[in-house]
Amino acid sequence: MTSRTAPDARTLEGGSFKLSEVSDDAFLGGALRLYQPKSGFRAGIDAVLLAATVASNDKNGKGSRAALGSKDSSFKQRVLDVGAGVGTVGMCVTRRIEDVHVTLVEKNSVLVGMAFENRQRNGFEDRVDIVAADICAPAVHIDETGLKQEDFDIVLANPPFHILGSGTPSNCDIKKHANAMAEADLENWLRFISRMCAPHGTATVIHKASELDRLLGVMGGRFGALRVLPIHPRQGLPANRVLVTGVKNSKAELMICPGLILHDEGHRFSETVDAILRKGATLEFPG
């Protein structure tokens, strides 16, 4: 990811940020450009790794509607990006893969406005929908947004990492709520993910490694074939992130996969990670 300062043009649709208050960031080796706030929560490596877990129909197949008897070769996998922010995860998926239709769901109006801008500037109007909604709201309010339960083949989420009330809160409202949530809300997120995921569809979450027990505790009752991919900053260091994926209604056993190493010696990304970040390569769960 690289960035440059965007020219000051106008207030972003849906929010109070001006273009002078955002950065213009390049993802996937420059194939995707996104506006996001200069200050506050900023998407980076985690978002790109999460997006990279989605493969095209001919690779993903198992469990998707395409693999359950669809004869339509033009079938587009339906992907939901939960807590999408400015749309980084969903738009990385859209740029990498042609046979997807992505829906972004985000509650912060400023970030929703930036997501609309990002959709337009990348030419994704026909392939990306944007829904403003609080996923922790009662189900009846979610239904009113037009989101349909069990309508998505793939659900992706990068939940806030920290608990509200622990540590020093950020002065930036966007950052405060993008980085932290109420202690009970991780379970609310995972319940929402399960409701939205189609039978035999997949859900994938990236989170702190220290939250693995909570992730498995909630996902285990709703998803099977759970696979855990530890993410290590360097060889020999403990994992600080985990990717957890599962298949809804599956009864297959849990698998811990060999870990992904982000950096080689020095500060270079490993060859595998560099291909994901710069070339849009798929991140496959080993085993």
pLDDT per position in the chain (287 positions), as tens?
555 544 444 444 445 567 778 899 999 999 999 999 987 778 899 999 999 999 987 665 444 444 333 444 456 899 999 999 999 999 999 999 999 999 999 999 889 989 999 999 999 999 999 999 999 888 888 888 889 999 999 999 999 875 544 444 445 454 444 444 566 688 899 999 999 999 999 999 999 999 999 999 999 989 999 999 999 999 999 999 999 999 999 999 999 999 999 999 878 999 999 999 999 999 999 76
Say how far residue 159 (Cα) sits from the centre of its chain.
8
pLDDT score recorded for residue 287: 65
Residue 265: DSSP 8-state: S
pLDDT score recorded for residue 39: 78
Q: What span, in angstroms and rounded, lies between the C-alpha atoms of 53 and 58? A: 14
**Residue whose entry in the numeric block shows the structure tokens 């989170």:** 207
Identify whether the C-beta of residue 96 lies closer than 8 Å to the C-beta of residue 52. Answer: yes
Q: What span, in angstroms and rounded, lies between the C-alpha atoms of 61 and 80? A: 17
Torsion sign (Cα): 111, 133, 62, 190: positive
pLDDT digits (tens, 9 = 90+) for 127-144: 999 999 999 888 888 888
Integer CA distances (angstroms), 39 to 17, 109, 161, 173, 224, in order: 11, 16, 18, 10, 39
Query: Domain spanning 43-262: which CATH class is it, in words?
Result: alpha beta
Q: What span, in angstroms and rounded, lies between the C-alpha atoms of 160 and 26? A: 23
pLDDT score recorded for residue 163: 58
- Tokens coding 222: 């709703």
Identify whether the C-beta of residue 54 lies closer than 8 Å to the C-beta of residue 90. Answer: no
- Tokens coding 24: 């213009």
Q: What span, in angstroms and rounded, lies between the C-alpha atoms of 277 and 262? A: 11
pLDDT score recorded for residue 66: 41
Q: Report pTM.
A: 0.86
Q: What span, in angstroms and rounded, lies between the C-alpha atoms of 223 and 207? A: 17
Spatial neighbors of 148 by CB under 8 A, at least 6 apart, are none
Strand, coil or helix: 135: coil
Q: Where are the domains of the chain?
A: 43-262
- Tokens coding 84: 């999408």
Strand, coil or helix: 200: strand
